[in-house]
Structure 1
């Protein structure tokens, strides 16, 4: 089974295990964090008091840490009730409070609220939460009396619903990996069964022949030592051939052939003193 394609599948929704995974996730995070340029620029312009600026930086760091922790570590996994409540309460509270406190430049935080909801909430809650986040963005903007930031409605909606698509990709990828593992396990089990059947056919026939010839040799030994010696020689030959067949079966090279089975049956019947018309081959059979 080929594994190169599986190894190239991005480890979506899982902690990075290699340096490449780390950088891929870092680029992904950086793309979404570009929306924070507006709040960062607002803080750098010095439009607020020192206390407000300090609290703004702390709040932005806390918001970003909460968002990154939720999305990166939990993406594709259904949260429990407590974690879902944290996602629904903490991030929106940060977005609302900081928008009202620091200005309309901070309305972009609702984009992250929508993305976090789409990424980590149970699926039955994602769509209502995304719509609610978008509606909250619009309502907060109108209540602030600022110029309407209608353009933010599009990334807020698309960001949340795109995360639903990512979650489906995560689920499909994991199901594919599990299916591949199951197929590999089934193939291994089938190979074990095939080997067991081959060994049963090989050893069953050979051991039966050895048992028969041993009994004949025992009966011939007192009166017919020469014939008994012939039977012992046949036993040695059969045992050696059985060993060769077992080795070939284990290495996967042997495939039972009808002609060989017929020859073995003819030899066993002849050793038992039974005359039978056994063909050397059966060309009419597939």
Structure 2
């Protein structure tokens, strides 16, 4: 079970049974403060009729509270419905507190927390003190008002305003998630436009020339077959060059780059719930072939971390290093997962080794923690200096 399965993302409703159970457990912990009214009902100090109505009122209160806090309010209720449910909770808290006594004043804490979790700050900043004031007013009419007010006022205020901060964090997280999706879509659109421009620049002139020469050859063919054959030869040459240009362009689009793979690794690890330390950029003077090999190796290494390691943290480093054989650029991917118990390399490591052989690179694998054998570290080195990049 990985961390992504265990966690319930901020601002997102639970999607699996495990996430429902986890979120329900957290909310259930806070419902433990309902012990005061439950104990009051169990003591038998009220009539049977009052106990039955109190039990029903408490069940309805808890159900309404869960409707508000179990999932983000925008996913469940519109603003009007939120205010209706909050008003109902407040009225029920007042009714039960006045009818059954001071142990029921704890319900106002839940009303305050619900207001902070579901209302905008401009509304919550006066509703939370108002709820607390009602709590104090009713508490003054009961026994031992000082102890009761001291025990409940601070939880009501602190809980309510704390939830306003949590709600703002949820909204900000959702906005950032939407902005990230928008940026990704804009980047994809820009890439499509760039591809269209490049193909137009590559093929527009060549196709126009082929069309003109084809028409010219057609007109020359009856009377001047030799000249027509020359035009056809030119057409063949132009089309072959166009094909070479297109293949070169497609190869450039398909070739992975190290900066792109670093960004992709950061996104993949974050999506898997793995804390990552990844450099922001890569050396600009790295030869094309060496960069391609490192990019493929990084992609494979990060894929292994996400799929197989069950790690919580992954560190990627990229730094030049001097060896006896010369200067190299070393890429290291280290995780704190369960490590590897096998000695036979898989297809991924075999592919990395084969690519490294084309640039005289090196591959070293080891346990991240040599004592416990936990974790897995992959160190990939490629020559980095003068005379580089000839490993074609």
TM-score norm. by structure 2 comes to: 0.57
Q: Distance in 2 between matches of 1:8 and 1:61?
A: 29
Q: Distance in 2 between matches of 1:247 and 1:39?
A: 76
The more displaced of 47-56 and 223-232 is 223-232
- Residue 156 (structure 1) aligned with residue 160 (structure 2): no
Q: Distance in 1 between matches of 2:152 and 2:104?
A: 11
**Which secondary structure does the structure 2 equivalent of 1:47 belong to?**
coil
Aligned to 1:24: 22
Asked whether the equivalents of residues 102 and 143 of structure 2 are also in contact (C-alpha less than 8 Å), the reply is no
Aligned to 2:295: none
Q: Deviations over 1:142-176 (max 9, x none)?
A: 01243421121111011111111111111111111
Larger RCO: 1 or 2 (CA < 8 Å, sep 6+):
1
Aligned to 1:42: 40
Deviation at 1:121, TM superposition (A): 2.5
Aligned to 2:205: 205
Q: Distance in 2 between matches of 1:8 and 1:40?
A: 32
Distance 1:82 1:189, change over 3 A: closer
Distance 1:253 1:64, change over 3 A: closer
Deviation at 1:26, TM superposition (A): 0.8
Q: Distance in 1 between matches of 2:6 and 2:28?
A: 22
Correspondences of 1:229-268 after superposition (within 5 Å): 229-246=229-246, 248-250=248-250, 252-253=253-254
Correspondences of 1:43-58 after superposition (within 5 Å): 43-58=41-56
Q: Deviations over 1:83-142 (max 9, x none)?
A: 414412x11222122122222211111100101111223432111110011111111110
Correspondences of 1:92-111 after superposition (within 5 Å): 92-111=90-109
CA RMSD in angstroms, aligned pairs only:
2.8
Asked whether the equivalents of residues 76 and 167 of structure 1 are also in contact (C-alpha less than 8 Å), the reply is no
Q: Distance in 1 between matches of 2:78 and 2:19?
A: 23
Asked whether the equivalents of residues 76 and 119 of structure 1 are also in contact (C-alpha less than 8 Å), the reply is no
**Which secondary structure does the structure 2 equivalent of 1:48 belong to?**
coil
Deviation at 1:218, TM superposition (A): 4.1
Aligned to 1:178: 178
Correspondences of 1:1-12 after superposition (within 5 Å): 10-12=8-10
Aligned to 1:169: 169
Structure with more of its chain in helix, by fraction: 1
Aligned to 2:271: none
Asked whether the equivalents of residues 118 and 161 of structure 1 are also in contact (C-alpha less than 8 Å), the reply is yes
Distance 1:130 1:50, change over 3 A: same
Aligned with 2:128 (options 114, 118, 130): 130
Asked whether the equivalents of residues 14 and 75 of structure 1 are also in contact (C-alpha less than 8 Å), the reply is no
Q: Distance in 1 between matches of 2:17 and 2:249?
A: 44
Q: Distance in 1 between matches of 2:37 and 2:173?
A: 36
Distance 1:233 1:120, change over 3 A: same
Aligned to 2:310: none
Q: Deviations over 1:20-70 (max 9, x none)?
A: 321232122113212111111222232322222222211110000011112
Aligned to 1:278: none
Structure with more of its chain in strand, by fraction: 2
* Unmatched segments (≥5 aa) in structure 2: 256-392
Q: Between Structure 1 and Structure 2, how many residues are aligned?
A: 250
Asked whether the equivalents of residues 70 and 116 of structure 1 are also in contact (C-alpha less than 8 Å), the reply is yes
Q: Distance in 2 between matches of 1:209 and 1:156?
A: 79
Asked whether the equivalents of residues 16 and 22 of structure 1 are also in contact (C-alpha less than 8 Å), the reply is yes
Aligned to 1:84: 83
